Amino acid sequence: MTSTKISFRFMFALLVTAFSIYLVFFLNPDGALRILLNLLTFAGIYGLSAIGLNVHFGWTGLLNFGHASFMGVGAYVTLLLMPHAAGREGEVTTTGLPFFAALIIGIIAAALFGLLLGLPAIRLRGDYLAIVTIAAAEIFRLLVRDLESITGGVYGIINYTENFQKYRPLFIDNFSGNLGFSPSQAWVCLAAWVSIFFTVLLLKRLTNSPWGRALRAVREDEDAVRAMGKNAVWLKLQSFMLGAGIAGLSGVLLAFNYGSLETTVFIPLLTFYVWAIMILGGVGTITGPIFGSIIFWVIISETDRLAYLLFENANGQQLAGVRFLLVGVLIMFLMIFRPSGLLGKKEELLLDVK
């Protein structure tokens, strides 16, 4: 493995990403920038989540299919701690913590939920862990939906965006006005990419550290890790917590991007989206999910065209159908033909976690 090879892969990923952004401009002569902003906001949020998932699966080999619940815990805890309105009657809670305090508690809550979900991982092999994590995520979703008095249930939570938007710097308003952006979405987008930036910095710092090394050793062979005097269980739990914390942050951002929070956001499909992004970008890489996410969202946003080709006057349902259909094809195709993704190293292609 030489450095020139890495940079070649990196350049390739960069090129594909640039090309997909160019496609947006090419296909949308009008309003390309607005589409791009929307797309980059989602790409940032989902990319961040995929980076967290990569800590689980790519670094530690944990088959986590309950990622949506980490995002959900982060979002719900953060929002409920701040002033908001919830439920059928839109019951208003005026008191609450300031945004940053709530966010930190939300992230910690997500990490602790990661710890809880990580406990089965002590005992269970890969495919069983997949079933348990997806089931636990469903339990979380069903409970949130059912505990209407606290979470707003199916009616969701509203009136919380101001907690975050009041920190919006003035320059965003100025420049959004010029470009026809929604300033609040621009602020969420910026926050997402700043979060990605710092998360990547953090992970870069960790990946080649003794701790990151230890996680990868767990992924490779747990028995050997234990034979070297290292506590593999604790390492797995730490990995679960870190990845879940990152997912929690992305969940909060997702909530602010939507402007209202509903339980239907955190369905298993959300997890599968994040998986698709991770595999596309490259399992085990740090920056891979970023590229993966942008390309993924370009594909998603441009599939509408495909839908209009297939169906005259496609309705929302048909648009969604075509989108998800492509996600399924993408996951299958990548897993079969390029499991290492865009940035993944071929040497790390062994995907058979035990």
Partner 1 sequence: MSNNLISVNNLKKSFGGLKAVDVQELSFKEGELTSIIGPNGAGKTTFFDLISGFQDADSGSIFLKDKDISNAQPYKIARMGMVRTFQLTKVFDRMTVMENLLFSGSNIKNDSFLRSFIKLNSQKLYESNLREKANEIMNDLNIGHMANSYARELSGGQKKLLELARSIINEPEILLLDEPLAGVNPKLAEDILSLITKLSDSGITILMVEHNIEAVMKISERIVVLAEGSLIADGIPNEIRTDSNVIEAYLGKADE
Partner 2 sequence: MLDQLGNGLLLGIIISVASVALSLLYGVTRIVNFAHGEIIALGAIATLFFSSPLDYRVLFLEKFSPLGLNFAISCFLAIVVCGLFGGLLEVFLFRPLRKNDVGNIAVLVVTIGLSILVRHLYLLFATGKVQNFPLELQRRQTYLFFDMTPRNFNVLIAGIIVMIIVGLLLTYTRLGKAMRAVRDSEELSSVSGINSDNIILITWVSSSMLAGLAGIFQATINDVRWNMGFLILLLIFAGTVLGGIGTSFGAMVGGLMIGIMVQVSVGLPFMEGHTEAKNAVALAVMILILLFRPQGIFGKKERIS
Residue with structure tokens 């069983």? 128
Q: Does 211 bind partner 1 (CB under 8 A)?
A: yes
DSSP structural state of residue 157: E
Helices 232-258 and 99-123: angle between axes, nearest 10 degrees: 140
User: Which of residues 91, 127, 162, 220 is near partner 2 by CB under 8 A?
Assistant: 127
From partner 2, partner 1, none, interface partner of 97 (C-beta below 5 to 8 A by class): none
Smallest distance, Å, CB 225 to partner 2? 15
User: Which of residues 14, 97, 115, 124 is near partner 2 by CB under 8 A?
Assistant: 124
User: Which of residues 10, 104, 339, 348 is near partner 2 by CB under 8 A?
Assistant: 339
Cα torsion through 245, 251, 252, 256, rounded to 10: 160
Helices (H), the chain: 3-27, 32-54, 60, 67-81, 99-123, 126-146, 148-151, 162-165, 170-179, 183-207, 210-220, 222-227, 232-258, 268-281, 288-310, 316-337
Q: What b/e sequence results for 138-147 when a residue is b if at least 16 CB atoms lie within 10 Å of its CB, and e otherwise?
A: bebbeebbee
What string marks each residue from 261 to 290 as x (binds partner 2 by CB under 8 A) or -?
A: -------xx--x--xx--x-----------
Interface stretch with partner 1, choices 107-115, 215-223, 289-297, 312-320 (CB under 8 A): 215-223
Strand order in the sheet with 157-158: 91-93, 84-86, 157-158
When computed from its CA atoms, the radius of gyration of the chain, rounded to whole angstroms, is: 20
Q: Does 180 bind partner 2 (CB under 8 A)?
A: no
Which positions lie near partner 2, rule CB under 8 A? 63, 119-120, 122-128, 130-132, 134-136, 138-139, 142-143, 145-147, 268-269, 272, 275-276, 279, 310-311, 317-318, 320-325, 327-333, 335-336, 339, 350-353
Which positions lie near partner 1, rule CB under 8 A? 1, 202, 205-206, 209-214, 216-217, 219-221, 223-232, 238, 242, 284, 347-348, 350
